[in-house]
Amino acid sequence: MSTSMSNKPIYDINNAEELFEKFIKDFDRQYKDEAEREKHYQAFIKSLKRINELNTKQDSATYDINKFADYTEEETKWMCGVIKPLDASNICCTHGPACPVQYLDHTEDKRKLYK
């Protein structure tokens, strides 16, 4: 990892495997099989690229690896409420019967990665 002039982390994508192994240990990740691991590894690489991209912008925020760095796009959408879980029968919505589960405003700020 290098840092930009503003001390924001910039990750070398060539070190992604090493960073992913550290991530697995740091966040106690376990995957059911090699296919699941590979899927999350690819999501992790995508997160590294996004972190690098956002940290090179002239912005006051700093982005880094966190517990969400291996989330797939679908898992991220589910977590943010953009898509319903498979079993949404026990979800309570206080905004009325027509309230969709995907009520969250999906903005750039909500996609920021915090450490």
Q: Any idea what the Cα angle at residue 40 is, between residues 80 and 107, rounded to 5°?
A: 25
The DSSP letter of residue 103 is -
Q: What is the pLDDT along the chain (115 residues), one digit of tens a residue?
A: 665 556 899 999 999 999 999 999 999 999 999 999 999 999 999 999 999 999 998 778 999 999 999 999 988 888 877 766 555 555 554 444 444 444 334 334 444 444 3
2 phi and psi, to 5 degrees? -115, 170
Please state the pTM of the whole predicted model: 0.67
Tokens of 4: 């930009």
Helix axes 16-26, 34-56, angle to 10 degrees: 110
At 81, which CATH number? Answer: 1.10.287.2250
Domain count, the chain: 1
Question: Could you tell me which of 109, 115, 31 has the C-alpha nearest to residue 75?
Answer: 31
Domain region containing 20? 2-111
